[in-house]
Structures are given as C-alpha cells and as structure tokens.
Amino acid sequence: MSRGGVEEQLTLMLASLTHVAFTDCQDHWICPGSLLSTYYVKFVRKLLVLNSNGLRKTYWSKVIPPKVNILCWRLSLNHLPDNLNMFVRGVDIGDLQCPSCNLVVEDLNHIFFGCDIASQVWSYVANWVDRPFHKWKDRQEFWN
C-alpha cells in the first residue's frame, strides 16, 4: 500500500518554496479567506462551524470538556491514530488487526462502532454517566 504520496507532496512543497522571499519585517498572522488583515479566532471558529467535514457542522459544547469536543471533531475527520490511519501515513506498526478482538483491520469505525469489546466499554461509559447506550453501526450513522 502507498504511503499516501508523502514523498511527492514534499517535492511539490519544496518546489513551491523556491519562489518565497523572506524579509526582515515583523511576523503577524493573516487569516486566509478573510478580508481582514489580522488573524481572529472568532473568524476561524466560524469557518470550522460552516464547513468542517461535509458530514455535519462542527459544534463545540461548553458543557462537554474540550478534549471530548476535540476527540469527536477528530473522529468526524478520521484523524485519529488507528492502525489503518497510521499505516497509510507510513508508520510501520506491524499487524493492522484490532488488538482487542484480533478479527478485522482496526479503523475508526471498528474502534468506536464495530468492535464488541469496544462496545462493552462504551456501554460501561454510558452507564457511568447515567445515559442510555446506543450502538451505532458507523461514523455516518453517529453524526446523523
């Protein structure tokens, strides 16, 4: 399986930097897509809410801890380090199988929705926070 074209991307990036001229001016952030010349967190947050991943808008909840919000956001983007994602990014991890059940390739759908052992853990978590447990079949069903 390919490493996702990392070498080609690096070559293209280095080629695009050959025309960059550095100056002695003070650095500042510029927000792409904004008519403003300065970087504002509020503007970037609006961009995230409007078009995060095509599945649904990104909503940040003040009652949920930030790390849980970030976990859900990264899950929606398929940007968590499961075995398949690590392999695609060129990390040599050996076996791609799920280390818990050893039945199928470990990807995010399997970790969060398919693995029976993971489902038991999620069931315990739901019970711990006094919420009913629902077993979704995949990320798509979870977000809808």
Q: What pLDDT sits at residue 97?
A: 93
Which residues constitute the domain of residue 113?
81-144
Question: Does residue 119 sit within a domain?
Answer: yes
- Is the dihedral angle over the CA atoms 27, 52, 72, 41 positive or is it negative? positive
Question: Does residue 111 sit within a domain?
Answer: yes
14 or 5, which is more confident: 14
- What's the one-letter identity of residue 134? H
- For range 84-97, the mean pLDDT: 90
- For range 63-84, the mean pLDDT: 84
How many folded domains does the chain comprise?
Answer: 1
Q: What pLDDT sits at residue 16?
A: 83
